[in-house]
Amino acid sequence: MAQSKQDAQRKTKAGEGAAAKQKQLESFSQGPENLLTTNQGVAIPDNHNSLKAGVRGPSLLEDFILREKITHFDHERIPERVVHARGAGAHGYFELTRPMGEYTRADFLQEAGTRTPVFVRFSTVAGSRGSSDTVRDVRGFAVKFYTREGNYDLVGNNIPVFFVQDAMKFPDLIHAVKPEPHNEMPQAASAHDTFWDFASLMPETTHMLMWVMSDRAIPRSLRMMEGFGVNTFRFVNAKGVSHFVKFHWKPKLGKHALVWDEAQKIAGKDADFHRRDLWESIAQGKFPEWELGVQLVSEAKARSLGFDLLDPTKLIPEEMVPVTIVGRMVLNRNPENFFAETEQVAFHPGHVVPGIDFSNDPLLQGRLFSYTDTQLSRLGGPNFHELPIN
């Protein structure tokens, strides 16, 4: 009697095992969308158990599934940016409202109503990826336009000028503003002797310091922040006529800042304050919007301005050259994967399209080399353009 019961149980377990095996085989035959596979498309039942020599033997090096999974884990991080390491991004579109064919042959600036997809990354400059959002710092404002003629990157800041006039001094500036080498302090701030030693020896930093010590360096929200191309670029029309151009992003919500005490308290309570605000606003359908404006200067007029248009420590007063609004940008979609989009996106002021060109601004000329060089190092080689976000 007992033997019959055991036989029946064995048959039941065998039947269940066969059914499970059959179900697994059926799932394998239903198409690749239902399969767990290796990177090469080989279907596998699981990726939780390594191949071993016997029941309790050591794991085998020949287990290509184990090697593939561990290798991915070992290499799934990339170095953080030297500057602009802490960022937040969003997708959206740029809509042209004023045709610019008189000044540039760029395709996306020809016909009013043309919409161009964009990806925007906002960032702080000095701090590491783990630093706080509300520190006193310059903010990066970088826009990638996915145009029909190729990608165009407008890579700027929320302040219209910069610390130095020549790219040769940029490494010195960043080494000075980073934390002290002996104790890695202060994080994401310039409140230390090394930075002020640099500033005191470089009078050209004075204009930028006035901006950094103003409310512009502690914005209330990324949605309430202006953006600037900083450097002087060129528009070139179909006839080859060139105009100097300065770019301006003007937030529809207006410009708003935190007070210093608020910024410090928020940094301690919610280091992700700006990142969270941008994400939640878009998720709730409160899409942030900016107008794009340009200051256009002919080469003849540039000589009569009374200052060097190619000096990035200076701006063009709007009373001298008004800002002409040419379009609007709306951010309406959050990233699906922070690493694959916000972290892997590669901006470069040298990514231009026909009709947009460079000036001889010495800071810009250095950026044209440096951005490619840093992406080669950060993203592992020359094929970073193959990453989907790029």
Q: How many angstroms separate the CA atoms of 30 and 42, rounded? A: 14
Q: Which is the catalytic residue, given 47, 72, 84, 390? A: 84
Q: Which is the catalytic residue, given 91, 157, 274, 351? A: 157
Dihedral sign from CA coordinates of 131, 137, 143, 144: negative
Helix 170-177, helix 362-378: angle, nearest 10: 60
Q: Where are the alpha helices (DSSP H) in 95-249?
A: 170-177, 193-201, 206-212
Query: Which DSSP helix (H) or strand (E) runs through 6?
Result: helix 2-28
Active site residue 348: no
Angle (nearest 5°) at CA 295 between 293 and 298: 145
Residue 251, burial from CB neighbour count under 10 angstroms (0-12, 13-18, 19+):
buried
Give the residue from 90, 147, 78, 117 showing the smallest Cα distance to 379.
78
The DSSP bridge partners found for residue 234 are: 244, 357
Query: In the numeric block, which tokens belong to residue 386?
Result: 């193959």
Q: How many angstroms separate the CA atoms of 212 and 278, rounded? A: 22
Listed in sequence order, the residues at least 6 apart from 221 whose beta carbon sits closer than 8 Å to its beta carbon are: 253, 256, 274, 277, 278
Residue 75, burial from CB neighbour count under 10 angstroms (0-12, 13-18, 19+):
exposed
Q: How many angstroms separate the CA atoms of 356 and 364, rounded? A: 14
Active site residue 91: no
- Catalytic site positions: 84, 157
